[in-house]
Structure 1
Amino acid sequence: MEFDEVIKKRRSIRAYKKKKVPFSKIVKICEAARYAPMAGNIYTIRLIVVEDKEKKAKLAEASFHQDFIAEASHVIVVCSDLSLLKRSYGERAFIYGRQQAGAAIQNMLLKITELGLASCWIGAFDENAVKRILRIPEPIQVEALLPIGFGREKPREIVKPELKTILNFEFYGLKVSKKEPEPGV
């Protein structure tokens, strides 16, 4: 699959077939996270792979009853160890940690799509409950949950905003450029 196709094909899928994802694919997904940009090359990302049925059910409950999480073959819980960043960046550690987690999550979502699998970026959860379920210590922060499986639903087409509605030139609010876009842009 071409890179642009992977980007455009990625969707949030909330229904999964009762079929196990081979562990080799889970490893490839986790490997994709390692190649995300990290501030100061300080790797703060920590991943927890959950396959246990009871734990997945508890994670679904801790995610405000998003029950489809329990149907997934695996759930990858993305965490950050901000203590590593605080030593170098002080108060900015929280911001950099969030940025790094987002980059790692996007890499994983794109790899999931490339592998023909499905997922949904879960950001709504009770962090303390997730920490209890998975025995996550302080100061580790839970960033997201990624349920992974073979999609049971056909993703609907999403209309994205036209580039001109989000693109500014030189400063915010200037929507016109004297340059003509390249063909195909």
Structure 2
Amino acid sequence: MTSSDLLRFLKARSSVRDYSAEPLDPEDIDYILACASTAPSAGNREAWDVVVVTDEDVRMELALAALEQAHIREAPVIFVVCANYIRSMSHYGERGILYALEDATIACTYMMLAAHARALHSCWTGAFNENDVREVLELPEHVRPIALLAVGRGTPPLKPVERMPVEEHAHRENW
């Protein structure tokens, strides 16, 4: 893959909120998880976990927890990506909380790109009631849900989303 290929690949990905009910192949789920496991992490602590949700009733409960966002109910798979504080705090103390959050977000990004590589669609969802998600999935206290990643075959937007120019984000040498 050339650098031009990578940029084209990244620009072709978009958040999709309209999914068919067609289930994913187990191989697709395994591929996405395998890609996540290659994500860099602070001190290689891999302070993230994921709950793979395919059950329709559980997806319905997660959709309610996610402010009734329909794509959470409709996508055939929801990857609930969580920060596992214990894994990094055991080594880094309080700073490990930040590292676990970073590890989980990087792993989720890899999962989103892995779905794109399999010609699947995804939507990273951060708007949800954390306590409701925690209760639905019976998460332990040291695990915090960070993102609900909807994945499936969907209908992408008709035109690419406009992005801010790089110059709006990049500062060189100082602010």
Give me the TM-score of the superposition, normalised by structure 1. 0.87
Aligned to 1:139: 142
Is residue 2:107 matched to residue 1:104?
yes
Is residue 2:172 matched to residue 1:169?
yes
One of 85, 88, 99 as aligned partner of 1:85? 88
Aligned to 2:125: 122
Q: For structure 1, list consecutive stretches of 5 or more residues without a partner in the other structure.
A: 173-185
Contact 1:16 1:153 in 2 (8 A): no
Aligned to 1:27: 30
Contact 1:13 1:155 in 2 (8 A): no
Aligned to 2:15: 12
Aligned to 1:160: 163
One of 76, 79, 87 as aligned partner of 1:76? 79
SS of residue in 1 equivalent to 2:94: helix
RMSD: 1.4
Is residue 2:36 matched to residue 1:61?
no
SS of residue in 2 equivalent to 1:102: helix
* Counterpart residue type for residue 159 of structure 1: E
One of 45, 64, 67 as aligned partner of 1:42? 45
Q: Decide whether aligned partners of structure 1 residues 132 and 155 sit closer, same or farther in structure 2, where only a CA change above 3 A counts.
A: farther
Instruction: Tell me the CA shift for residue 155 of structure 1.
Output: 4.7
SS of residue in 2 equivalent to 1:120: strand
Instruction: Tell me the CA shift for residue 160 of structure 1.
Output: 1.6
SS of residue in 2 equivalent to 1:121: strand
Q: Deviations over 1:111-165 (max 9, x none)?
A: 1111111111111111111111111111111111111110134353122222223
Contact 1:6 1:110 in 2 (8 A): no
Instruction: Supply the distance in 2 between the matched residues of 1:84 and 1:25 (Cα, whole angstroms).
Output: 27
SS of residue in 2 equivalent to 1:27: helix
SS of residue in 1 equivalent to 2:86: helix
51-60 or 148-157, larger mean C-alpha shift: 148-157
Instruction: Supply the distance in 2 between the matched residues of 1:71 and 1:49 (Cα, whole angstroms).
Output: 15
In percent, how many aligned pairs have the same letter?
Answer: 32
Instruction: Supply the distance in 2 between the matched residues of 1:19 and 1:130 (Cα, whole angstroms).
Output: 24
Number of residue pairs matched by the alignment: 172
Instruction: Supply the distance in 2 between the matched residues of 1:58 and 1:29 (Cα, whole angstroms).
Output: 23
* Counterpart residue type for residue 116 of structure 2: T
